[in-house]
Amino acid sequence: MNKTANFESYHIRKWYTQIEDSLANETGELADGEPLRKIVIAAALHNPYAGRFSRDLDDLVKPSPALGEEFARRIKELIGDGKIESYGKACLVGADGEYEHGNAFLTSIFAEPIRAALGGGKSWVPSSGKRGPINTVIDVPLAHKDALYVRSHYDTVTCLFPDAPNADEVLVIFAFATRGRLHARLGGLKASEIVGNDGLV
């Protein structure tokens, strides 16, 4: 069943925002510096390919840069003059869709406007995805936006979106963090040592 478009050619039913601030780690040790803020932005979109196979997924891919621009606008509004150091993306596909339908939203053309809004990002955006019913929990991976080998920024954020996804929907999810893990102490490349040439170091 086709639904009336309300954003480009997409039908978006709902936007979600989730924010958490960690002031101390799991053993109660106060933050080593600023608290860790994680922000999740997600959109529940109608999946026009639900219940059928199509080799062409252009109805999802082609308008996705505009969707990325809206995600970018929303994260900029939320952080103001603040700084984002890491990011990640995910998809959650309703039961009538294919996992591939979710991945169609997560291509580089979707992510580029978000990278630009954050002042650029050299490393690729880590991603995850799954199929599931309403109230499915999903973990979104995080990594430093400029250098993938910064161990302190390997993290996840756990999300649950009440009343989504419907069977004919895809949840498109982008997560952000303002710093690495609290009291990260496993060595490796430090954020202050990033060279920024290749997205790795």
* Span 124-133, pLDDT tens digits: 899 999 999 9
Residue 61's H or E segment, with its range, is helix 58-61
Read off the tokens for 107: 């291509």
Does 3.30.1330.110 match the CATH number of domain 12-193? yes
pLDDT of residue 184: 96
- pLDDT less than 70: residues of the chain: 1
Distance CA 48, CA 43 (A): 15
pLDDT of residue 128: 97
Distance CA 177, CA 113 (A): 17
pLDDT of residue 199: 80
CA distances from 149 to 1, 36, 46, 144, 174 (A): 45, 19, 36, 8, 20
pLDDT of residue 34: 97
Residue 58: phi, psi to the nearest 5?
-60, -30
Residue 196 one-letter amino acid:
G
Residue 174 one-letter amino acid:
F
pLDDT of residue 1: 64
Chain segment 52-94, per-residue pLDDT in tens: 999 999 999 999 999 999 999 999 999 998 999 999 999 999 9
pLDDT of residue 97: 98
Distance CA 20, CA 31 (A): 14
Q: State the pTM of this model.
A: 0.95
> Among candidates 74, 101, 90, which has minimal Cα distance to 15?
74
Strand partners, 186: none
Residue 175 one-letter amino acid:
A
Residue 119's H or E segment, with its range, is none
Helices (H) and strands (E) in the chain, counts: 4, 7
Residue written as tokens 């040439």?
197
Domain ranges of the chain: 12-193
